[in-house]
Amino acid sequence: MKTLSTERLVLRDWCEGDIGSSVHNEDAIRYLLKTKNNYAVVLKENNEIIGTIGLNEDADGQLNVRNVGVRVLPQYQNKGYMTEALRAVIDNAHNIADALSWFCKVEDKRSQHIAAKFGFKYVKTFAKDKYGLPSDFYYYILEL
């Protein structure tokens, strides 16, 4: 995907040299080298990969919708990094999809807060019993 730059971060495709990162294991990185649907979130000040943003197959099977999957290493959480990264991804995602989806556990208040902050609209709840999930999940959509 196109490399994006924010005040504190660079968002770029994963590369072979990233193997050894604590964000994804080697198998996952080798997979992402092929799919190229996942940003490595790199901190400019020390060049460390601190997180990941995937634009994956939609959880509800909708074509032209990409599911946003996010993670930041624990020691870098709650410093505004994902907010900064997501703003850049959302601003550029119209080149990739018509809409983005967001999928989070019903008990995950932080993820729900982030979804609301970026204007994702609640669509439905995926029941764990029906889909074999570890928990009930809320599903949101953001039209681009």
Nearer of residues 10 and 70 to ligand COA, judged by Cβ: 70
- Dist. CA 102–CA 59, nearest whole Å: 8
Question: Degrees (nearest 5) of the Cα angle 65, 134, 18?
Answer: 60
Q: Is 78 in the site for ligand COA (CB under 6 A)?
A: yes
Please tell me whether residue 56 binds ligand COA under the rule CB under 6 A.
no
| Interface map 90-119 toward ligand COA (x if CB under 6 A) | --------------x---xxxx-xx--x--
Encode 59-128 in three state secondary structure. Answer: CCCCCCEEEEEEEECHHHCCCCHHHHHHHHHHHHHHHCCCEEEEEEECCCHHHHHHHHHCCCEEEEEECH
Shorter beta-carbon distance to ligand COA: residue 73 or 144: 73
**CA separation for the pair 37, 44 (Å, rounded):** 21
> From the CA atom positions of the chain, what is the Rg in Å?
15
The number of residues in the chain equals: 144
> Is 71 one of the binding residues for ligand COA (CB under 6 A)?
yes
Q: Which is nearer to ligand COA, 34 or 122 (CB)?
A: 122
Of 14, 39, 81, 140, the residue at the interface with ligand COA (CB under 6 A) is 81
Minimum gap (Å) between residue 101 Cβ and ligand COA: 11
Q: Which stretch binds ligand COA (CB under 6 A): 6-14, 75-83, 90-98, 121-129?
A: 75-83
Parallel, antiparallel, or unpaired: how do β-strands 99-105 and 65-72 relate?
parallel
Which residues of the chain form contacts with ligand COA (CB under 6 A)?
Answer: 70-72, 77-83, 104, 108-111, 113-114, 117
